[in-house]
Every structure is written in C-alpha cells, then in structure tokens.
Amino acid sequence: MKKLNVGLIGYGFMGRTHSNAFRQVNKFFSLGYEPVLKAVCARDEAKVKAFAENWGYETYETDWRKLIARPDIDLIDIATPNNSHAEIAIAAAKAGKMILCEKPLSMDGKQGAQMVKAIEKAGVPNMVWYNYRRVPAVTMAKQLIDEGRLGRIFHYRAKFLQDWTISKDLPQGGAGLWRLDVKAAGSGVTGDLLAHCIDTALWLNGSIANVSAMTETFVKERKHNLTGKIEKVGIDDACAFLARFNNGSLATFESTRYARGHKALYTFEINGEHASIAWDLHDLHRLQYFDHRDESKLRGWRSIHVTDGDQPYMKNWWVPGLQIGYEHTFIHQVADFLAGFDSQTPAHPSFRDALETQYVCDAVLKSAQTGKWEKVPKAK
C-alpha cells in the first residue's frame, strides 16, 4: 500500500472531520493508497500541538508556507476559513502538491477561476469537500437518475434550514464564529449552506441557466469578537432563489439560519416524469422514492433504509439495518479520492466542478442586489 503524506491546514470542525476520515478510510475500504497524518498546521502553537497529539499527526507547523515547502508532504488539505483558500491553494499548486479544499471553493467566482487556473496548470489531483455527495442515499439518488428512472425532470427543490443565529446576543468573527463575519466567509448562508444545495443539484440535475434571488440580514449589527465593537453584519442571514436548469426543469432553493426547529435540515426533492426522489439530512440514511410505474393502487412513497450491501458504500460498513452517520461522508470521499488514483478516474467534485457552484452563488447574490434574473456563466 502506497503512503500519501497529508498536511492539514486548520483544526476546527472540518479539521476534525478530515482527520477522522484519513484515519478511518483504510480500515473499511480496500485501497492501493493510505493517507499518513504527517503534519497539521495552524497559527496557535499550543492548540495545534494538542490537536496533533490527539489525532496522531507526526508533526505540526504554525506557518502554512512552511508546510507547503516541506518535501515530505504529498497532499495539502485546506480546512481554513474561506478567505484563505485561494492563496493557500495557489501556493500549494505551484509546489506541485495534491490539494483537497473545504467548500466553498473561494470567496467568489473570480477568485475561484484563478484557483482553477493554477491547479490545472500544475496538473495536480484536486477535490473540494462537498461531502454530501457521499451520503449513501444521495449517491443512490444519483444512480437512479443516471439509470434514467425518473424520466424528464420537471422540478427540483432544495433547502437548508438552521436556527443557530437567531439570538441577537451572538457575536460575529473569530474562532467558531467566522461564518458570521463577511470578511472571513465572503457571504452568509449562500456560501455556507446553499453552496451545498447547489453542488448537489448540479451533480444530480445538470447546470443552472439563470436565477432570481432575495437575501435578508435579520440582525443588522452584532458585536465583533476580534474588534470587540458592535459592527454591521455583512452576511446574508437568509437567501432564497428561483432557478431554471438547462434541462428545462424549475427549481426553488432556500437557506436560512432563522428557521426555528431545524438544526441542519438540508432536504432536496426531484420530480420526474416517472418517479420522484426526496432526501433529508436529518435522517440521512433514508431515501424517499415514489415510482409511478408501481401498480396503481399500491403506489406510495417508499422509505428506503439505505443500509444494505447493494446500496452505495454500505457493504464496507456493518450489517443491514444499522445506520452510519455524518462523519462517514468524509471517509467515503477520501476513499473515492484514493480509488481514483488506481482507476485513473479523478474523484469529483474537482476545483472546476466547485467553480460552477461558485458562479451560481455569484449570480444569486447579484440577483438579490439587482432585483433581476441573472444568468449563470459557464464554468466548463
């Protein structure tokens, strides 16, 4: 088994999910490559050292440029706030490293295009962590669509609802709260949550032609953790948009952090001529499926418990009926990335795939400002 030396940058929520994925993947998947936790990098030495010890990283760095410069690192994994993705990725590409990057790819499409240019020039393997593609039920949805079971698609609808920022007392900025700081995040729910919805949608239903959007910032000012002052909130607290896909289907997308009662309700539903599919992150191991070709009086939405050996990824885990959870999506993504080396089939989504999502986000945010329908530029 070939070793692949990983250098992780960032040790927050995503640093943990990635580290776990690297550690676990070879225990459950038979692969030709094995990630080695070589180094983790972050500015706070005490914390990064503790993180390295906990997860078993052999070394640590406090300057990401040093990490990239290290010859013993094969792969740079970017798990930092959005505003640092581009600089790190471009430097890593120049250094010839493989690159994994947290989503969203970049602060905007322009920046993302620069990253894609750099990475494609370098010709290095690359992938963006849109992990929900690897929920077994979501992967199965993709299979069903690719098998043509749904027929012509009429409708796509997705939403991602949370409720964790309703309190006016919640500050913005800094560790754990950078997602509320527009300088670090680029946008609010659009880049954080809708980007997931859009990535899945592009994968399942093809490209989006144009959009009409609205955004809202319900709490206008919050204390900033870094300055200690009350500052204007620059992110979108909520965003909804209408879209037309190039396959002729109509879509609605919505995301908010002000939907009381929902922690992480990412749902999508696709209505086709013959069949429909629905899925919900809160019960991620289930797929809802309705097939009009079923015998008429027995038609109904099937609640499929996706835990069987003939369903995506599940033969690698336990036994039928026993569910896996959120963290496994990252393990699957690493497994596919490593398997891609053997099969010469690069794992998706690539930086270029993720750039397409970025362009949709740009069009959405622009439409929210102009009040008009905006076209989505092509990323491919």
Show contacts with its own copies in window 139-168 (CB under 8 A).
Answer: 140, 144, 154-155, 157, 159, 161-164, 166
∠ CA 243-357-89, nearest 5°, is: 170
In whole angstroms, give the CA distance from residue 92 to residue 123. 12
Q: Say which DSSP state 191 is in.
A: I
Q: Which stretch binds its own copies (CB under 8 A): 84-92, 113-121, 335-343, 368-376?
A: 368-376
Is position 339 an interface residue for its own copies (rule: CB under 8 A)? no
Is position 212 an interface residue for its own copies (rule: CB under 8 A)? yes
Is position 213 an interface residue for its own copies (rule: CB under 8 A)? yes
Region at 68 (left for phi over 0; alpha for psi -120 to 50; beta for the rest):
alpha
Name the residue with tokens 């999506």. Answer: 329
Nearest to its own copies of 166, 170 (CB atom):
166
Nearest to its own copies of 86, 240 (CB atom):
240
Q: Which stretch binds its own copies (CB under 8 A): 96-104, 185-193, 320-328, 354-362?
A: 320-328
Distances from the Cα of 324 to the Cαs of 79, 142, 330, in angstroms? 23, 19, 12
Least separation in angstroms between residue 21's CB and its own copies is: 12
- Range 166-172, long-range pairs (CB < 8 A, 24+ positions): 166/257, 166/258, 166/260, 168/219, 168/222, 170/222, 171/222, 171/223, 171/224, 171/225, 172/222, 172/223, 172/224, 172/225, 172/231, 172/233
How many Å is the maximal CA-CA distance in the chain? 66
The helix/strand/coil state of 358 is helix
Is position 3 an interface residue for its own copies (rule: CB under 8 A)? no
Least separation in angstroms between residue 19's CB and its own copies is: 8
Least separation in angstroms between residue 326's CB and its own copies is: 4
Residue 84 backbone dihedrals phi, psi, to 5 degrees: -110, -5
Binding mask 12-51 for its own copies (x = CB under 8 A): -x--xx--x--xx-xx------------------------
- Which of 83, 216, 225, 366 touches its own copies (CB under 8 A)? 216
Is position 291 an interface residue for its own copies (rule: CB under 8 A)? yes
In whole angstroms, give the CA distance from residue 333 to residue 316. 14
In whole angstroms, give the CA distance from residue 32 to residue 25. 11
In whole angstroms, give the CA distance from residue 271 to residue 278. 9
Task: For the segment 51-70, give every residue that binds its own copies (CB under 8 A).
Answer: 54-55
Q: Please, what sign has the CA dihedral across residues 131, 134, 140, 145?
A: positive
Is position 205 an interface residue for its own copies (rule: CB under 8 A)? no
Is position 375 an interface residue for its own copies (rule: CB under 8 A)? no
Binding mask 163-202 for its own copies (x = CB under 8 A): xx-x------------------------------------
Q: Which stretch binds its own copies (CB under 8 A): 2-10, 97-105, 195-203, 271-279?
A: 271-279
Least separation in angstroms between residue 358's CB and its own copies is: 22
In whole angstroms, give the CA distance from residue 182 to residue 190. 11
CB 6 within 8 A of CB 25: no
Least separation in angstroms between residue 216's CB and its own copies is: 5
Region at 111 (left for phi over 0; alpha for psi -120 to 50; beta for the rest):
alpha
Binding mask 100-139 for its own copies (x = CB under 8 A): ----------------------------------------
Number of chain residues interacting with its own copies (CB under 8 A): 90
Least separation in angstroms between residue 164's CB and its own copies is: 7
Nearest to its own copies of 118, 140 (CB atom):
140
